[in-house]
Chains A and B, each alone.
Chain A
Amino acid sequence: MTAEAITAYSNPARAVALPFSGWALLKWITAACIAIVAVFPIWWMVNVVFAEPGTPVSLNPRLYPTSFSAGISKILMIMQETDYMKAYYVSVAYSLLTIAGVLIIGSMAAFEFALFEFPGKRILFATVMLSLMVPTAVTIIPTYLLTASLGWLNTMQGLVVPGLASAFGLFMLIQFMKTIPRDMIEAARLDGASHFQLYRYIALPLSKNALVTLAILTFMKTWGNFMWPLIVAPSPELYTVGQVVGLFNSPYSHQTVDIVMTANLLAALPPLLFFLIFQRKIVEGIAMSGSKG
């Protein structure tokens, strides 16, 4: 069959279905520009770390990593010669404990707020929502004073506990749990489930998507939290990754740019991985199709 014959068989309508559109092109170009702006700093970080010192900013700069071994040696140097690993441990513990606490407390509170009626519910909910409107700068000093009077300065509970009551998380989970059909809760009640079992076996599994999303957001917030660890745990024993990276960046630090970048890269890696791993979970989800249809 000749090329002409093939062309003759092709569907002309299909060719028309993909017209050249200036507007579409403009949208793609804009999207690409935004993507470059967003990705470039991260790429530059990787580029600086995985190169011999000075190469990326030399007269003949390279925009891609040139030395894998140089990067590894910088990472090893930071791991072995500084307290970075310890800070990693503190940050991971701080984040995981906060996530666990926020999820447990938030989901229990949301379960009650979303699915049951109790006296004072509206006022309590309004109070929680009001706290969303108060900026952190206003609450940080009273929270610090309270934590100090509890004797929790320079302790893990001092770091974690004040961050457990998340008004935003509660709001998000309430909105999600409100979508659980009342019939389902009643069916479980008839099946003999206690109040806690309703929460454990029905509300919690059905809110999996919202809980995963809240976990990711809490992780991002906690891992990147600089201010609270700085004031409540000033002892080097409890330095978080954020504080250690801050030390690398401080004005009198004698570290070179590539070492500072390596510290930054190591700090940025966990949130990046956390997001990439759990992003799939969000999309996967569970089908809310137990009801009619």
Chain B
Amino acid sequence: MAQLEITNVSKSYGAVNVLKNINLEISSGEFVVFVGPSGCGKSTLLRMISGLEDIGTGQIRLNGQVVNAVDPARRGVAMVFQSYALYPHMTAFENMAFSLMIAKEKKARIKEKVERAANILRLEHLLQRRPGELSGGQKQRVAIGRAIVREPKVFLFDEPLSNLDTELRVQMRAELIQLHDKLKTTMIYVTHDQVEAMTLADKMVVMHGGVIQQCGRPLDLYDDPANKFVAGFIGSPRMNFMDADVARVESDHITLAVTGALKQFDLPFRGFDSSLRKVQVGIRTEYVGLSEDADSAVSLPATVAFVEELGDVTYMHTDLPNGERLVVRSNGGRYRGGKECVAQLDTTGILLFDEAGERIRSAS
């Protein structure tokens, strides 16, 4: 049974619809990541689960009980904020003990719980320090500790790592995975960083314009995106997109004429809607390489715009004759200058989208 059920939830501020008919089920112990660009409504959804934001319409159920009207403190959720939101006048210990003190727990019990959380987060030696005396990473750990001592049913994280530098972010990411393994509590995490989402999530929920675009396991979304937005949002560098005309439709393949390509090529495809004349071809950089053979069916002459050499991999950002950008990946190759090149597409990696951006899937 789902621990958290979000049913037909919508939210608007005046005329602006921030969330539109959200439906989502989250199982107990899952690590769910809401990911999407700024303004997509992911933080609002998290705040609605926490109770800090009123639910416009729809229902949120936690362990089968509707929590729409339940006070935030009584929902059994704990939240870690982007700004950490530690109380600056209290020590780390007092910050972590605050909720227990409010709940009038016995002092010995408070001490025991805080020390246990501090032990999990390796914070024992910092308990008497105030937030002003802690580094960014330490503050974040105290904020997580404050959530742990409440022993919540669901942890909510609102972009908790975005204020940390890259190295610390990677380290904290690993610590969060370990923490989830240790506590086995449901965690809902909001981020705009798709790499963070891919590495942390059991289930990834991609949002855009207040709508859930797709949810599922990170690699399922990577390999089999439901639409052009998800395909473009997940993966770095983003997927290449090119316009193509459908030249011929057969029962087991179609013939495509990619704008800028020298020749038409066949793509295995069953059940193609023959009324569609124009499609968008999506292909990830790992399926685009350089070729010596300019005569191949899937070769595209291109001009190198700039090159990103990362050591193990080189990304060549090229411009096609029609002005579209195509990123070519070269494993371990070194760029030796030169402007003109021929990009070659591996058709096994081609995904098709209609003009509205929805995925066109081959019938199995």
Contact = CB atoms under 8 A, between A and B. Distances in A.
Interface stretch (A87-95, A167-175, A178-186, A228-236): A178-186
A61 interface: no
Nearest to A191: B99
Nearest to B158: A183
Interface string A190-211: 1111100100011001101000
Interface string B132-167: 100010010000001000100000000000010000
Nearest to A289: B132
A286 interface: yes
B102 A183 contact: no
Interface residues of A, number: 26
Given A181-B83, A288-B88, A191 B102 contact: yes
Given A201-B98, A205-B89, A287-B132, A190 B84 contact: no
Given A192-B73, A287-B130, A292-B163, A187 B89 contact: no
A287 B77 CA distance: 29
Contacts of A221: none
B87 interface: yes
Contacts, number: 91
A292 B146 CA distance: 16
Interface string B45-87: 0000011100000000000000000001110011101111111
Contacts of B79: 186-187, 190
A192 B101 CA distance: 10
A183 B81 contact: yes
Contacts of A189: 52, 72-73
Given A206-B89, A290-B86, A192 B132 contact: no
Contacts of B139: 290, 292
B83 A191 contact: no
Given A183-B81, A191-B150, A290 B52 contact: no
A230 B103 CA distance: 50
29 contacts: A181-B83, A181-B85, A183-B83, A184-B85, A184-B87, A186-B72, A188-B98, A189-B72, A190-B50, A190-B72, A190-B73, A190-B99, A191-B146, A192-B103, A193-B102, A202-B87, A206-B88, A206-B89, A287-B88, A287-B130, A288-B88, A289-B131, A290-B84, A290-B87, A290-B131, A290-B139, A291-B83, A292-B83, A293-B136
Interface of B: 50-52, 72-74, 77-79, 81-89, 98-99, 102-103, 130-132, 136, 139, 146, 150, 163
Given A192-B74, A292-B84, A292-B139, 8 more contacts: A184-B87, A186-B72, A187-B87, A191-B73, A191-B99, A287-B130, A290-B139, A291-B85
Most interface-central of A187, A286, A288, A292 (chain B CB within 10 A): A187
A194 B51 CA distance: 14
Contacts of B50: 190
B156 to A, nearest CB: 9
A161 to B, nearest CB: 31
A181 B124 CA distance: 27
A276 B251 CA distance: 93
A186 B51 CA distance: 10
A118 to B, nearest CB: 15
Contacts of B163: 292-293
Contacts of A190: 50-52, 72-73, 77-79, 99
Contacts of B72: 186, 189-190
A291 to B, nearest CB: 5
A193 B88 CA distance: 17
B263 to A, nearest CB: 55
Contacts of A205: 89
B122 to A, nearest CB: 21
Contacts of B84: 290-292
B51, B78, B87, B130, most chain A CB atoms within 10 A: B87
